[in-house]
Amino acid sequence: MSETSLTYKEFVLPASVVTKRDVSQLVNEAERVDSELTTATVRAHITTGVAVSPVFSGTFSDFLALNKLEFEESKARTALIKQLRLLKDNVPIIHLTFAVSADIESLQKLTAWFRQSVSPQVVLEVGLQPALVAGVYIRTTNHVHDLSLRAALAGKHDLLVKELEGLRSA
Amino acid sequence: MGLFHKQSDDKRTGDNPLAEATDQQKRFFDDYFREELRNHGRWYFDKVIKENGDLFKKDLEAVIAQVNTDLKEHVSRQLDGAIAHINATLKDHVTRQMDVQFAEYSKTMQEAQDAALKNMTDGSNELRDQYHELSSLLKDNIAEQNAMMHKAFEEHKAQLQSMDEAQSASLTALNQSTEKLQSQYQQIGQMLDTQVTEQRDQIVKAFEDNMARTVEHYILGALGDQYDLKAQLPAIVKQLEDNKQAMVDDITL
């Protein structure tokens, strides 16, 4: 199985994997399916029957297809699970805080942008802060980027006061 | 039973009449007959004794009643005599005792009256002496008070004169203070006008600041409810593009 030579750094994450929780679900599903396949293989040896093919979720199927991975052999499954665990522990996380609740489509678009522009394995952690009014508050590993409307207005407070003074003088 | 007792034996003793009579007598006065006679005698004796006892009892009661009456009269007479005698004796004794006591009391009262009269005479003399002493002392005090009042009047007169002078000086100082106060009042009025102007400017400035905050708040409130994330997405992506390099550097660090 040549695909098992891939390390977690080379994995391509599907668009449906947005948060670290999704990555954890990938790991859990891989472990579950591995357990089911192992059990089925043992039963097939005993009963000389045909092993039942496993059922994957859409996200896991996309992940396997994107990375051209096989999940039939036991060794390959074990290696893949190991790499998925490493991916879960080392995946880069960007925290995004919005003023309104985020819908999944917008999150997927933002995830796609981050993976295309920043890092191919980025996942998001989403928060809600209505005081931001609009825009987004971003926190990366070492920096924060306040791209909210509140920050924009706070920066232009003096300009607004000056314009009001001009209006009063006029 | 005694008459016919031993009748069968009479046929055998018919030869000797005396013996027979003696025998008859013995048979007639046998023990039983004698017992009957004793019982009869005992009964008759009891009856006589009882009758005589009753008579004796009645006589005794009559005698006792008579004796009681006589004794009561006798005792009454004796008691009346004794009481009359005792009354007379007691009256004499009490009269004598009271005479003696009255004599003693009269003597004592006379002595007490004499002593009280003597004390009153002494007190009156003493009061007269004290009155003379107090009169002389009062005259001395009045003369002394008169001198003190005269002296105090003179002192007060001098003090009043000095107070008049001080009042004149105070009036002068008060006029000067009034003039100073007038000038200070004018200065304070000018300062107050200046401060009012400054306060007004500060209030206007604070109003402008608050107005800016109010406008900001209004804008925030108005925009916050209008845009969902889809509507904001193009602007967010544009801002992300502007900060892309910084994020890349931070992630790949």
Q: Which helix (H) or strand (E) holds A153?
A: helix A149-155
Query: What's the pLDDT score for residue B27?
Result: 78
Beta-carbon contacts of A148 under 8 Å, excluding residues fewer than 6 positions away, are A99, A132, A133, A134, A135, A136, A137
**Two tokens at A35?**
């357990």
Beta-carbon contacts of A84 under 8 Å, excluding residues fewer than 6 positions away, are A8, A23, A26, A27, A30
Query: What's the pLDDT score for residue B78?
Result: 93
Task: Please report residues of A whose CB lies closer than 8 A to that of B247.
Answer: 94, 118, 138, 140, 143, 145
Q: Is A117 exposed, middle or buried (0-12, 13-18, 19+ CB in 10 A)?
A: middle
Model confidence at B1, pLDDT cuts 50, 70, 90, reads very low
pLDDT average, residue stretch B183-205:
89
Nearest to A88 by CA among A97, A96, A80: A80
Inter-residue contact A137 to A129 (CB < 8 Å): yes
Report d(CA B39, CA B44) in Å as an integer. Answer: 8
- Digit-coded pLDDT (tens) for B21-60: 888 877 777 888 889 989 999 999 999 999 999 999 999 9
Q: Tell me, rounded to whole angstroms, the distance of Cα B198 from its chain centroid.
A: 79
Model confidence at A84, pLDDT cuts 50, 70, 90, reads very high
Model confidence at B2, pLDDT cuts 50, 70, 90, reads very low
Q: At residue A153, does pLDDT exceed 70? A: yes
Nearest to A68 by CA among A116, A6, A26, A16: A6
Beta-carbon contacts of B117 under 8 Å, excluding residues fewer than 6 positions away, are none
Phi/psi for A102 (5° steps) reads -90, 135
- Pick the residue from chain A with its C-alpha nearest to B215: A160
Query: What's the pLDDT score for residue B15?
Result: 67
Task: Please report residues of A whose CB lies closer than 8 A to that of B253.
Answer: 141-142
Q: Which of B204, B212, B240 sits opposite A113 (nearest CB)?
A: B240
Query: What's the pLDDT score for residue B3?
Result: 46
Query: What's the pLDDT score for residue B222?
Result: 65
Q: Which of B204, B244, B246 sits opposite A143 (nearest CB)?
A: B246
Query: Which range, of A152-161, B26-35, B85-94, averages the lowest pLDDT?
Result: A152-161
Task: Please report residues of A whose CB lies closer than 8 A to that of B207.
Answer: none
Which residues of B, range 103-122, sit inside 8 Å of A by Cβ?
A: none
Q: What does chain B come to in residues?
A: 253
- Digit-coded pLDDT (tens) for B153-166: 999 999 999 999 99
Which residues of B, range 207-246, sit inside 8 Å of A by Cβ?
A: 208-209, 211-213, 215-216, 219-220, 223-224, 227-230, 232-233, 235-237, 239-241, 243-244, 246
Mean pLDDT, rounded, of chain A:
84
CA angle B197, B203, B206 (to 5 degrees): 145
Q: At residue B115, does pLDDT exceed 80? A: yes
The interaxial angle of helices B244-251 and B229-242, nearest 10 deg, is: 70
Model confidence at A2, pLDDT cuts 50, 70, 90, reads very low
Chains A & B: contacts with CB separation below 8 Å: 99
Higher-confidence position of A71 and B166: B166
Mind telling me how many Å the CA of A59 is from chain B's nearest CA?
23
% of chain B beyond a pLDDT of 70? 89
Mean pLDDT, rounded, of chain B:
86
Nearest to A112 by CA among A34, A18, A23: A18
